[in-house]
Amino acid sequence: MRTPADIARFEAERPLDERLPGRSVLDAFIASAAQHPERTAITMLMTGAPDEQPRRVNYSQLLGLIRRAANLFATLGGRRPGVAYMLPSLVETHATLWGAETAGYAVPINFLLQTAHIAELIQASGSKVLVALGPHPHLDIWQKALQLREQVPGLTLLRVAPPGTPAEDGTLDFMTELMKQPDDRLAFGGPGQGDDIAAYFHTGGTTGAPKLVAHTHRGQLTAALGGAALTGMTSDDVITASLPLFHVGGTIFCGLGALMSGAELVITSPVGMRNPAMVASFWRIIERHRVTLPGAVPTSIGAVLEVPLDGADLSSVRAGFTGAASLPLAVGERFRQVTGKTLYEVYGMTEASGLLAIDPPAGPGVLGSVGFPLPYTELVVRRLNSDGSPGDACPPGEVGVVTLRGPTVSPGYRNPGHDRGVFADGMLNTGDLGYVDDTGRIHIAGRTKDLIIRSGHNIDPLMIENAMQRHPAVALAAAVGMPDAYAGELPVCYVALRPGAAVTEAELHAHAESAIAERPAWPKHIFVIDSIPVTSVGKIYKPTLRCDAAARLVTRILQEELGIDGAEVQATEGGSRGLKVSVRLPVHDASVVHCARDALGAFLFEAAVSPN
């Protein structure tokens, strides 16, 4: 598929329920195992070294692991148990995730969260079982799991650890218990299916109050089917699985969609591309495993592009994929220069079962576009009403809020009090600003919400502001995202001091690091200003601060990296990417203008550079 007309024909040829592999996620694995029993489903890399002998699991074996896990969870948790897990990317993580969805519902947990936050998520989800990675020299997952066992009454703890790891009182060994269960049938009756809840994914990022988003079996299957269809995935594909399995992109696009297609997943180490060895050996991994669809978040792709090809054979590659954060145009262009292939964007959201749109590789690929909506869904860009609610549809080219209808839309948050402004009458208000061009392609232009997105991690600015305002010298604080070439955005914080108060920037940073639980949310810069801009009703007006942050960044780049002083820098909201920066240089040298344009090309804003 390469056009909206192709998608329309796909929808008209067969109704959705005839295209789905069944009514449950388990049905998808049963179908794949029947079609490709001996084909490798998962290749597990630990080091990426040339002489590594990876662990491989075929589709028949994977189905057996999922059934065993489902039987185990039903035995431990009773009817329709909630199963939380804190696991890096492993074969056992796939068994846990899909087994939990079969027996009850999965609650994937970002193991980088602080223990108190994780406890909130587990309690809010009603989980009875926690599966966690055992003692590890570099990860503190097990220490957190032991604390959680004490904090959450009635929680059964399962440990994933290498054979021979000494037993611990009060915990069960995952693999030992798994092997006690049958792998050829379910011992507890039928699996969850249709509109039954399959999972609760937490959103709101690594910080802030937890929101648990419900996923249904039908929603996940529809999103996976749509992603595979737009991508053209088949059993001939080999895909790098670099996103964690607590992320909907790793779960649906690089997980269920690929496995429904009979493709092979190559897991690039337990921590994905956060492992420097995987970045350094990425091109050789593609060559060695004949990867057809390599992908990662934009920051990781940018890091990989700094690694020389050094003669690596990339002839197996048909397209590259990226998602979880907006793609800087310079990274997309560099990918094409280095590989000779196009890097296509995937647009996902937890509240939409993980996927909304994909730029299909059968088409030419348009940098800056996330392509077309998934089949069987309706994506409409709408004008905002005076009360902030979505209104009428926008004509092509007009920026509005992105909305979605269809079976991939979540039934809502576990706490219905969070639904307001997001879910209404079957429609999802994504909170993203965007527009549709004349070809039907979707372009994302910014966000109506104030979340700061750092390398795909959503950071709640309110949490930063609350922490900073606990400092006795701070009267008011406002956190916004400053553009960053690597991470997309970095959190920065503006503070106004109390009358007569004095404090150094170093003291404020020390306070931030002690008061903010999550390291990714620590402000990169803290700016002390006379007053925080507010609206007529007293609300903080963040557009002014976002523009100021961008202007400060550009000024610093010109001065420190290019040695240009005296440039006029002005940042304003708007443009196709949500922010425009105009630079007037105090020189007429064309080479200097060219260097300045190149330096700003890596950022997610429109930049206009001209001589004085």
CATH number at residue 146: 3.40.50.12780
Helix (H) or strand (E) holding 506: helix 505-515
Alpha helices in 154-206 (DSSP H): 174-178
pTM for this structure? 0.81
Residue 437 has pLDDT above 90, yes or no: yes
CATH number, domain containing residue 556: 3.30.300
| 5 falls within a domain | no
Mean pLDDT for the chain? 92
CATH number, domain containing residue 489: 3.30.300.30
Residue 396's contacts (CB-CB under 8 Å, 6 or more residues apart) are: 435, 436, 437, 438
Buried b (16+ CB within 10 A) or exposed e, 185-221: ebebeebbbeebbbbbbbbbbbbbebbbbbbbbbbbb
What is the sign of the dihedral through the CA atoms of 448, 321, 228 and 39? negative
Residue matched to tokens 């087994």: 99
Residue 306 has pLDDT above 50, yes or no: yes
φ, ψ dihedrals at 529, nearest 5°: -125, 165
Same domain for 364 and 400?
yes
List strand residue ranges (DSSP E) for 14-87, in order.
40-45, 55-58, 82-86
Based on its alpha-carbon atoms, the radius of gyration of the chain, rounded to whole angstroms, reads: 24
Lookup: tokens for 343: 């890097």
Distance of CA 471 to the CA centre of its chain: 32
Residue 25 has pLDDT above 70, yes or no: yes
Lowest mean pLDDT among 22-36, 120-134, 424-438, 529-543: 529-543
Q: What is the pLDDT of residues 253-275, one digit of tens each?
A: 999 999 999 999 999 999 998 89
Write down the pLDDT at residue 360: 96
Same domain for 182 and 297?
yes
Angstrom distances, CA of residue 145 to CA of 66, 99, 163:
23, 20, 19
Write down the pLDDT at residue 204: 63
CB 251 within 8 Å of CB 241? no
| Confidence band for 206, pLDDT divided at 50, 70 and 90 | very low
Q: What is the pLDDT of residues 517-552, one digit of tens each?
A: 888 899 999 999 999 887 644 567 888 999 999 999
| 12 falls within a domain | no
Domain boundary among 488, 506, 540: 540
Same domain for 496 and 533?
yes
The mean pLDDT value for 67-83 works out to 97
What is the sign of the dihedral through the CA atoms of 451, 453, 458 and 461? negative
Residue 207 has pLDDT above 50, yes or no: no
Structural domain span for residue 595: 543-611
Residue 342 has pLDDT above 50, yes or no: yes
| 586 falls within a domain | yes
**Per the structure, how many domains does the chain have?**
3
Residue 31 has pLDDT above 70, yes or no: yes
